Structure 1
Amino acid sequence: MDTPRTFSADTEAALWQQVAADMAQEPDLLEYTANLQQNGHTIQLDIDIDMGGGFEGGYETTTFTAVVPRPVALRFALHEQDWIHELGKLLGLTDVELGYPELDAAYIITTNDKEALRALFSDPAIQQTLLKYQEMRLTLAPSHHEDDSELYLTFLKEQAILEPEQLQEIYHLLYTLLQQLAPTSVAAVPLSNLQA
């Protein structure tokens, strides 16, 4: 795997000018990885497209991942509401409601602190972005479900998003959440290879 590209800027607009220009130079965006650094936070963008072949089906994903500096007690997972998850709720899967009717209807939401998550998602702009990209998974959890591992904020969509404007909207969502979760400016945390 190639070394990820790294882009750094003081403003989101300047950062995404760099990313958009770089993406425009790529003839085939089958794999694209970039570390996006802004004001002490690093968010890694991964786009992966496998066309499949023969009898194998292909897949595509867009993932944004950021290390969240400790200590943060909040943990959560949001994923799309579908018939499989509805069945899971009938069989006992715990789903909390945050009191935001559209979000509650769109997602299965699990958390260890309902009120903290409600406050985190209180901005209408955050809610609008979550609703725009519904078929996804957004988590704040340790890697590999270990209590002592690093904490990651992760957005995963099983679709390759190739438009810089859409990618910037998702980046803005994660960056806004990161600023709330880790409001103090910290040194940029480089992400190691997150492939397990």
Structure 2
Amino acid sequence: MDTIRSFSADSEDALWQQVAADMAREANLFEYTADLHQEGYTVRLELDIDLGGGFEGGFETTTFTAPVPTHVELRFALHEQDWIHEIGKLLGLTDVQLGYPELDPAYIITTNDPAALQGLLSDPVLRETLQKYQELRLSLAPTHHDNVDELFLTLTKEQAITDPQQLQEIYHLMLSLLQQLSPAAPVAPATSLRTNA
């Protein structure tokens, strides 16, 4: 695993100036992991690029992950519409509609509380970002790690995004969601962020 970098700042712009400078110094970004600390929140950025070789195809992913206090009751997943999910809908699988014309046709949306998710995504800037980076999965779900349930907000895109400006747009989405989900008690930087070794 690559070194986990750590950056902190009082503003998004100051934080991303640090990240952009660090990324520019990297000869390659095949594996890049950074913990981004702002306003008491921690968001982990992971880029993973495998070029493959021989008969193996490569892959690439961009992932943002942030711990959320387990007392938050909302759970959800948004992922892109594709032909597999269209067939599932024909077979009776359902997703919720939030009443946002830019999101409802673009994503399969599941949640335990449609009204809460609708409120969480009420900012048009956040919906614009989701539409811009449409082929992604965004979820708020528990994970079982060492027999302890932990709750994570996770955004995964099966593309390596290496442009710091685009990464900052996605980070802004994550931070905005975190601020709404846990406005009074952000999760302190912790070792609870999963590390895939």
- The alignment status of 1:66 with 2:77, answered yes or no, reads no
Quick one: structure 1 residues 169 and 147, their matched pair in 2 at CA, closer, same or farther if it must change by over 3 Å? farther
List per-residue Cα deviations over 1:40-96 (Å, max 9, x = no partner): 000000000000000000000000000001310000000001111111111222200
Cα deviation, 1:120-157, whole Å, max 9, x if unaligned, reads: 00000011000000000000000159995110000000
In 1, the alpha carbon distance for the partners of 2:144 and 2:49 equals 24
**C-alpha deviation, 1:7, in angstroms:** 0.2
Could you tell me whether the CA contact under 8 Å between 2:10 and 2:38 is conserved in 1?
A: yes
TM-score by length of 1: 0.95
Q: Is the 8 A contact 1:65 1:152 kept in 2?
A: yes
Q: How does 1:49-64 map to 2 (within 5 A)?
A: 49-64=49-64
How much has 1:185 moved relative to structure 2? Answer: 4.0
Map 1:1-196 to 2 at 5 A.
1-144=1-144, 149-186=149-186, 187-195=188-196
SS of the residue aligned with 2:33?
strand
Q: Is the 8 A contact 1:44 1:191 kept in 2?
A: no
Give, in whole Å, the separation in 1 of the partners of 2:39 and 2:58: 37
CA contact (8 A) 2:2 2:31 kept: no
The residue identity in structure 2 corresponding to 1:137 is R
Q: Which runs of 4+ in 1 moved over 4 A?
A: 144-148
Aligned length in residues: 196
Contact 2:66 2:193 survives alignment (8 Å): no
Unaligned runs of 5+ in 1: none
Distance 1:139 1:117 in 2: 11
**Cα shift at 1:6:** 0.3
Task: Quote the sequence identity (%).
Answer: 68
Post-superposition CA distance 1:147-187 (Å, at most 9, x none): 95110000000000000000000000000000000001432
- Cα distance in 1 for partners of 2:4, 2:93 equals 38
Contact 1:8 1:38 in 2 (8 A): yes
Structure 2 gaps, min length 5:
none
Q: Is the 8 A contact 1:39 1:185 kept in 2?
A: no
Paired AA for residue 122 in structure 1: S
CA distance in 2, matches of 1:157, 1:71: 27
RMSD: 1.8
Structure holding more helix per residue: 1
Instruction: Check the 8 A contact 1:42/1:188 in 2, yes or no.
Output: yes
Cα drift, residue 188 of structure 1:
2.5
TM-score (norm 2): 0.95
Query: 1:143 aligns to what SS in structure 2?
Result: strand
